[in-house]
Chains A and B, each alone.
Chain A
Amino acid sequence: MTSHVPLLSVRDLTVVFGSGSHAVSAVAGISFDIFPGETLGLVGESGCGKSTTGKALMKIVAPTSGSIELDGIDVTRQKGRALRNARSRMQMIFQDPISSLNPRRRIKDIVAEPLDCWKSVVGVERDDLVADLLNKVGIDPAIYGNRYARQFSGGQCQRISIARSLAMRPKLLICDEMVSALDVSVQAQILNLLQDLKEEYGLTLLFIAHDLAVVKNVSDRVAVMYLGKICEIGPADNLYHSPAHPYTKALLGAALEADPDSPVHGEVLQGEPPSPLDPPSGCRFRTRCPYATELCANEEPQPREIAPGHQVACHFPLVP
């Protein structure tokens, strides 16, 4: 069960690429918490800043401002060995399973790499741990351990990535579109595996994806991003059942269900997201929002709580 002290606490995080008139705020001031043992889903369309958020947490891209506290330690202020220490407690799994592994290395060495860097476990113990990790993700180390990464399919590569990410026993796992390149039957295998390992290792997950059905399936809570801001965050079932932000509603309305009786979306969100180089004033969604008024153009809506744990940044939230 989740406790009330967050494992990860993000406050006013911004990531700006470029400078001057070419500055793009990929992440424009977002705050959220992830509690131990829970899965927070992060959804949004391409360009909304969800991957940049994930990378900023790992300091793969440098946050421009704001704080990221993991277990009470502000990662943004860490450098050198302290930063490496903090990073070992969070690990990331990337979208493209094939390019995230070195094709010319043996998979047992790929999985052992973090252990070898830290020299935390050596010798026979190290080999046993690697074998155990590969077993856990469903790859027989005796048969496949010596094979090269290039000899594996996408689904198997993603299993190897998971094994590698678990080697340091991280507390937080950041999964960035980890199943979007996989076929649906393989995707289901990986999602089930992730759920099993989460329980076994007591992991906390940040699950970043564009697929609303996948996110709902794995998440306890879900945050919806649009143009660098979080517009709604809340418990998964609530948020999907009664979305309060017009954008969340539009996203859900556009999603396709594998069911011939599901309603065909008559009312589809028009237009495309504006350029993050020149975001609209006030609420960033107002240019596509059917309910936008003058207030939305003048004043940026602040997140407010409409139900326990359910926050929305909208002047006119939809009532369930």
Chain B
Amino acid sequence: MSPDSRHLLEVDQLSTTFATPHGLLPAVSEVSFTLQEDETIGIVGESGSGKTVLARTIMGLQPMTNIQVEGSVLINGFQVVGASDPEKRKHWGTDVAMVFQDPMTSLNPVMRIGKQIDETLRVRLGMSRQSAKARAIELLTLVGIPSSTERYDAFPGELSGGMRQRVVIATALACSPKLLLADEPTTGLDVTIQAQILNLLGELQQRLHMSVVLITHDLGVVATRTSRLIVMYAGRVVEIGETRDIFAHHRMPYTRALLDSSPRISNPSHTRLLAIPGRPPNLLNLPNGCSFAPRCSFATDQCHNERPPLTPSSEPGHSFACWNPLPISTRSEMS
């Protein structure tokens, strides 16, 4: 463990490429970012932008074959890229844990929920049967499951989607991880349940001093709950910075397009949405230059031929990948 690492998570030039029958598919390309202790970072993007593959690569959960991972992922000093499964298993649960999108399929349907939490505690922490059960009931209470002693014996099918996601969170938190990767934790849940789960995650993050990576397609989820934000498009980071800066002073036209095309409750009804034409590119056949250029109204020849690097903006920590960025503070007059 390097003594000078103040960052809990350091991702450097990370690329994940799948070998498919149709050619190489670069799902994640040259992603770099760091995360401090107690910090929550958001990753937003549309489907196919590489958010989930990025999270799985950070976690070290990849298929064995037909995949190439380059770059580096340091979690608490541990190099995930290239580590063997037994090595990774040692730090799963205690250093890093993941909450998956679908609470219906991330639990074993024929195993009592208490046992699924127990398993982690007994295997990873070597707890006895009894103390694992006591701890599992404690965890169920922690994530807000009413009458947790009785629910310990419930099967996942007996619980609602929101309750199941609470169980998944309890399982992830069982060994007090320092880093929690939450991949679309509330997608598919109703708004009132979504609010409950997001509040729960926020509370737990503060109480347990975790760092959280919150991955979502919904800008509303990250707007008030993250300190920094990464916008991904076609496997690349196209903008990164403080969440407020990204919302108020984004420079990348794609970020603007994402914000403009989301309907808002604060707008009067029948507000015309500013839709962008086209759809995200096929990753098997990416354009040479900027991946967003074919849909971008500001695109020039340079955009089509040369890939823009991440360029620092005026605010600290804010970078964007664009040859023709939007002028600074374009939205400030609106808010």
Binary flags per residue of A182-226, CB closer than 8 Å to B gives 1, else 0? 011111110110010000000000000011111011111000000
Could you say which residues of chain A place their CB within 8 Å of the CB of B243? 260
A262 CB contact (under 8 Å) in B199, B224, B279: B224
Could you say which residues of chain A place their CB within 8 Å of the CB of B286? none
B279 CB contact (under 8 Å) in A155, A218, A219: A155
Binary flags per residue of A157-188, CB closer than 8 Å to B gives 1, else 0? 00000000000000000000000000111111
| One of A1-9, A123-131, A248-256 contacting the partner | A248-256
Could you say which residues of chain A place their CB within 8 Å of the CB of B248? 260
Whole-angstrom CA separation of A128 from B53 in the bound complex = 45
What's the tally of chain A residues with a CB closer than 8 Å to chain B?
46
| One of B13-21, B85-93, B254-262 contacting the partner | B254-262
A250 CB contact (under 8 Å) in B192, B224, B260, B273: B192
Binary flags per residue of A31-56, CB closer than 8 Å to B gives 1, else 0? 00000000000000110000000000
A192 and B259: CB pair below 8 A? no
A251 CB contact (under 8 Å) in B191, B219, B258, B260: B191
B271 CB contact (under 8 Å) in A155, A211, A217: A217
B196 at the interface (CB under 8 A from A): yes
Binary flags per residue of B252-294, CB closer than 8 Å to A gives 1, else 0? 0000011111111111111111111101100000000000000
B273 and A213: CB pair below 8 A? no
B223 and A191: CB pair below 8 A? no
B261 and A188: CB pair below 8 A? yes
A45 to B: closest C-beta gap in Å: 4
Query: Please, which residue of chain A has its CB at the minimum distance from the CB of B191?
Result: A254
A216 and B191: CB pair below 8 A? no
Q: Using a CB-CB cutoff of 8 Å, which residues 218-269 of chain B contact chain A?
A: 218-221, 223-225, 243-244, 247-248, 257-269
Whole-angstrom CA separation of A141 from B148 in the bound complex = 59
B93 to A: closest C-beta gap in Å: 29
Query: Please, which residue of chain A has its CB at the minimum distance from the CB of B144?
Result: A270
Binary flags per residue of A231-252, CB closer than 8 Å to B gives 1, else 0? 0000011001000000000111
Query: Please, which residue of chain A has its CB at the minimum distance from the CB of B295?
Result: A185
Whole-angstrom CA separation of A216 from B267 in the bound complex = 8
A258 at the interface (CB under 8 A from B): yes
Query: Please, which residue of chain B has its CB at the minimum distance from the CB of A190?
Result: B275
A240 and B265: CB pair below 8 A? yes
B257 and A185: CB pair below 8 A? yes
Binary flags per residue of A259-281, CB closer than 8 Å to B gives 1, else 0? 11110110011101000000000
With A195-B270, A256-B218, A260-B224: A187-B265 Cβ-Cβ less than 8 Å: no
Whole-angstrom CA separation of A236 from B46 in the bound complex = 28
Could you say which residues of chain A place their CB within 8 Å of the CB of B191? 45, 210, 212, 251, 254-256
A247 to B: closest C-beta gap in Å: 9
Could you say which residues of chain A place their CB within 8 Å of the CB of B257? 185
B199 and A265: CB pair below 8 A? yes
B60 at the interface (CB under 8 A from A): no
Could you say which residues of chain B place their CB within 8 Å of the CB of A294? none
B302 to A: closest C-beta gap in Å: 23
A181 to B: closest C-beta gap in Å: 10
Could you say which residues of chain A place their CB within 8 Å of the CB of B163? 272
B264 and A237: CB pair below 8 A? no
A85 at the interface (CB under 8 A from B): no
Could you say which residues of chain B place their CB within 8 Å of the CB of A260? 223-224, 243-244, 247-248
Query: Please, which residue of chain A has its CB at the minimum distance from the CB of B162?
Result: A272
A262 and B223: CB pair below 8 A? yes
A215 to B: closest C-beta gap in Å: 9
B265 and A268: CB pair below 8 A? no
A65 at the interface (CB under 8 A from B): no
- A sample of 13 inter-chain contacts (CB < 8 A) reads A183-B279, A184-B258, A185-B261, A217-B271, A218-B269, A237-B269, A254-B195, A255-B191, A256-B198, A256-B221, A256-B223, A259-B266, A268-B195
Q: Across the A-B interface, give the 9 residue pairs with the lowest CB-CB distance, nearest first.
A: A256-B220, A188-B261, A258-B219, A188-B275, A45-B190, A254-B195, A217-B263, A183-B46, A188-B273
